[in-house]
Amino acid sequence: LAEQIIGGLVPLPIVREPYSAVRWLAELKERTGTRWSAMAADTSMSHQDKALAHALAATVDKALKIPAVAEFDPEILELTGAEDVLNETLPWSPMSMLHQYAKVRGFAHRGGDPDEHAAGQTVLALVLEGRLPYAVPPPHGDPVDGVHVGVDG
């Protein structure tokens, strides 16, 4: 369902929880960032293609200018032990990232607490509007010629 939300197949007003789609997007951008960076370094690409590859290589938190989570909040992120802390930094979760984004953008509930749901809906809207670039890089390797895959085999 997350891919369908990001791909625009599921209308945004129908999405009840944006967290799984934001997680899928963030993990995809982390996994494919090095491939997009390599494409941006290719000298045969045009200036526009290089700029797009650089934008696609940026992680979600960098693209949205979200500061790193500095304090531990048990309501947002559950740590089971000291092994969960990576290189003196807290691990991320969709909720913690959206919590920070809500603080930066000023999305808040009536009590003043950050509104992670509104932040998630906004991130998904940015993707669907094309203001937060998203794409899946082409597959590795040479194309396979003469192989037909279909109903009849």
In the chain, the percentage of residues whose pLDDT exceeds 70 is 76
Among 93, 95, 72, 97, smallest CA distance to 82 is for 72
* pLDDT, tens digit (0-9, with 9 covering 90-100), for 120-135: 999 999 999 989 988 8
pLDDT confidence bin for 13, thresholds 50/70/90: confident
- 77, 96 in Cβ contact below 8 A? yes
Structure tokens at 66: 């979200």
Kindly state the average pLDDT of the residues 63-78: 69
pLDDT confidence bin for 115, thresholds 50/70/90: very high
- 91, 15 in Cβ contact below 8 A? no
* Residue that has been written with the tokens 């992120």 in this structure: 77
Q: What is the pLDDT of residue 4?
A: 83
* Dihedrals phi, psi of 152, to nearest 5 degrees: -90, 10
Angle between helices 19-40 and 47-57 (to 10 degrees): 140
* pLDDT, tens digit (0-9, with 9 covering 90-100), for 78-97: 555 555 455 555 567 888 88
Structure tokens at 62: 């960098």
- Give residue 36's Cα distance to chain centre: 14
Kindly state the average pLDDT of the residues 134-153: 67
* pLDDT, tens digit (0-9, with 9 covering 90-100), for 21-34: 999 999 888 888 88
